[in-house]
Amino acid sequence: MISPVSLQGGLGGAIGSAIDTLQQRLYFVEYDGKISRLDLLPQNATIVASSNSTILKGTYLFNFDTGVHSTTGGGGTGWDVWWEQNTSVIRNMVARNGAQLAYLGHVNYNAISFADLAAYHYTSDPISANNNADNLLTDGAVFAVRTSEGNFTKVQVIDYGYNIRIRFRTYRLSNPYQVLGTGYTHPEDIVLSHDGQHAYVTERSGNLLRVDLTNADRVHATVVSSGMTAPHQIDLKEDMGIAYVVEYATAGRLLRIDLATGTQTVIAAGLAETIGLLVTGDQQFAYISEQATDTIFRMDLVSGARTTVAAGLTNPFFLTWSDAGESGILFPERDPANTVKMVDITTATPDVRVIATGLPSRPSSVAVVNPYRLVVCSNDEISSLDLSTSVFLPSGPIFMGIGFVPADHITGGYADTTDLSGYHFQVKNAPFGGTLQLMINHDKMYTGGARFYRVKVDGVVQDTPFNTLVWRSGLGRFVSEVRNPVGSGFFRTRPGTELWYTPFHGYNLNTSGLPNGLHTISLELYTTSLASGTPMSTHALQVMIDNSWPIVSIDRILHHHHTLGLVPVGTCGIVTEETDQFQFEITVRDMEGHLKSWNMVALWGDNASAPVDDGAYDPATGLIWAGPAAGTSVPTPPWTAVSRRCAHTFRLTAWDRVIDGYRHLHRQTYHKSITLLLP
């Protein structure tokens, strides 16, 4: 079970909260009359210990807060890691005394800031470092430690072995807690405005307030609406100009409040000590926690019909969507339970599961920092929950597609997106070539326990490193970082705590070495413990590969002579006699039958041009179109010159249908010139 990690203590009754996911800041109210903020990404830090080279002996322990190595192997308190040696082969880096680890792989050690360290997902899982191909702690590998004292360390392996040489740096973060405003009468909940500068707050005394967070004392707040009975959780629909609020009373109400006028509309009455509230994006349903009945129920906002979602709870408090898809609801249960639970509302029978127990007394609200990290406001403490499974309920395929082409729009190896109305990338019966950016469902993989994956083509492992853009908070920008495989081509699944510019990026597959034809790309998923053995599951996609180019040429230019008939004109030839009509024998061929289109254009003078002829693939004829055969004469009827006295260049261009998922790849051109000096 997940153990809460204290982020801030000594609070005056932390209740409702709202997270600014962009700035990674938690805004919350304290019942003793304050609006406060907790920076989840620290602004400053102090280095408390570091070394560019130190030895951690086999079976010994290390304290990263002090940089001290144990004098004996085995147990003891105060140590952060144990370099475990089960056999001469089986080795693990093990967290001790409440410390936690995050394996990062082969990333840029120097680029990792204290803010990055604070944002990583940490667990008590050991890092496998076996003395074989499965070793994760190879030379250059990086991992992070949240120490037993709550500090953060980055560690890089310099020289792997029984006695492992490492370098490290440990940071102590600055105090992230700040009081923004005081003077409130028992505030209950807070939600953020879209502008990030204002918030709405409920007071138990009966008010809904609008607060400027840069000038947040109660005396400066604007009363939006008043006269309610102990209003609690707010659901803000600011773009609609309204907010929903529930009252905690023996005959409580669900109210809709006009933010401009403060007018209250009763949506439902006779509710029994309601606390938490969520309204769906379409405003068809409300989910409400009711303490008198210890239930969470769904209410149809049109008919008023109620459906129980979860029963038998212990003082359920504020509600939080687990993800933007509104597929799950997170909620705390207050004492004596002091737990956090989640109910999956996507199933026919809603499923309730325990997320964490042993929370500090009287937990009130849950904020989702990312799919694997929650922050909980309790009476005098804010806690962090680092999860081993995501609270997001991701759906969709594991193998998502190639570039802009979804996997479910690749049939028989060919891409077809023409049935996606309005979609920006329209292709029909397109094969693939070049370097393919494989898109995979990291969220679903990680949630299902797949911490590693392997890519194969026709059963052959693909282990070339690839680069992707990763956000680094310390630098304030995206950086290009290499993703190196572990062992025999095992890549690390992206955890939800990492922000990638292309979040589904899984591999760059260079197809230049593959023969043209149908190939099978396989994605094998592996568990958290060891990247080897039998895969958890395998997901395959067939693709038609074509790395050939169209063949184009203007074989002959034929002049329609007024007496001699068709007369070939040599390259750079001069035509001085009538007529002004021409035809062209051309070759436009795609040997794999994947031609998309061709066209010929006449160019002359000062940027003048005119079309000569063209042709395009017709899907109705089937998958294969090779194009005009050698010696094909075009156009019919003959092309008539616009300018009778000028040099002309005739340019023939052909495209095939081959794509890399983002663009058509193969464009071939050919040109030939003559001069017209006609009477």
**Which tokens belong to 335?**
């004492």
Q: Which amino acid is at 641?
A: A
Over the stretch 371-399, which tens digit does the pLDDT of each residue have? 888 999 999 999 999 887 778 877 789 99
Over the stretch 113-130, which tens digit does the pLDDT of each residue have? 998 898 888 888 999 999
CA atoms within 13 A on the CB side of 614: 14
Q: How many helices (H) and strands (E) does the chain have?
A: 2, 56
Q: Is the dihedral of CA 430, 432, 436, 439 positive or negative?
A: positive
Alpha-carbon span 170 to 64, nearest angstrom: 6
* Distances 581 to 479, 635, 645 between C-alpha atoms, Å: 59, 10, 13
Residues 75-83: contacts with CB under 8 Å, at least 24 apart = 78/148, 79/148, 80/145, 80/147, 80/148, 80/153, 81/56, 81/145, 83/56, 83/57, 83/58, 83/59, 83/164
Q: What is the CATH number of domain 5-40+177-386?
A: 2.120.10.30
Over the stretch 564-582, which tens digit does the pLDDT of each residue have? 999 999 999 999 999 999 9
1 pLDDT band (50/70/90 cuts)? low
Answer yes or no: are the C-beta atoms of 64 and 168 closer than 8 Å. Answer: yes
**Which tokens belong to 252?**
């409580």
Q: Which of 481, 471, 399 is nearest to 441 (CA)?
A: 399
* Matching fold, domains 5-40+177-386 and 551-677: no
pLDDT beyond 60 at 531: no
Please give the pLDDT value at position 532: 60
pLDDT beyond 90 at 410: yes
Q: Which residues contact 241 (CB under 8 A, 6 or more apart)?
A: 258, 259, 260
Q: pTM for the whole thing? A: 0.63
Instruction: Give domain limits for the chain.
Output: 5-40+177-386, 45-173, 399-545, 551-677
Q: Which fold, 551-677?
A: Immunoglobulin-like (2.60.40)
Please give the pLDDT value at position 528: 59
Over the stretch 240-259, which tens digit does the pLDDT of each residue have? 999 999 999 999 999 999 99
Over the stretch 46-73, which tens digit does the pLDDT of each residue have? 999 999 999 999 999 999 999 998 877 6
* Distances 147 to 89, 118, 172, 256, 370 between C-alpha atoms, Å: 27, 11, 10, 47, 21
Alpha-carbon span 322 to 287, nearest angstrom: 13
Reduced to 3 states (helix: H, G, I; strand: E, B; else coil), residue 289 is strand
Alpha-carbon span 206 to 248, nearest angstrom: 10
Q: Is the dihedral of CA 485, 486, 490, 496 positive or negative?
A: negative
Alpha-carbon span 126 to 378, nearest angstrom: 30
Averaged confidence pLDDT in the chain? 94
**Which tokens belong to 49?**
């210990």
Answer yes or no: are the C-beta atoms of 67 and 53 closer than 8 Å. Answer: no
370 pLDDT band (50/70/90 cuts)? confident
Please give the pLDDT value at position 78: 83
Please give the pLDDT value at position 101: 94
- Residue 190 backbone phi and psi in degrees, to 5: -145, 135
Q: Which of 69-73, 358-362, 461-465 has the lowest mean pLDDT?
A: 69-73
* Distances 453 to 122, 136, 153, 490 between C-alpha atoms, Å: 20, 14, 27, 6
Reduced to 3 states (helix: H, G, I; strand: E, B; else coil), residue 115 is helix
Give the per-residue SS3 of 473-525.
CCCCEEEEEEECCECCCEEECCCCCCCECCCCEEEEEECCCCCCEEEEEEEEE
Alpha-carbon span 320 to 186, nearest angstrom: 21
Q: Which amino acid is at 146?
A: R
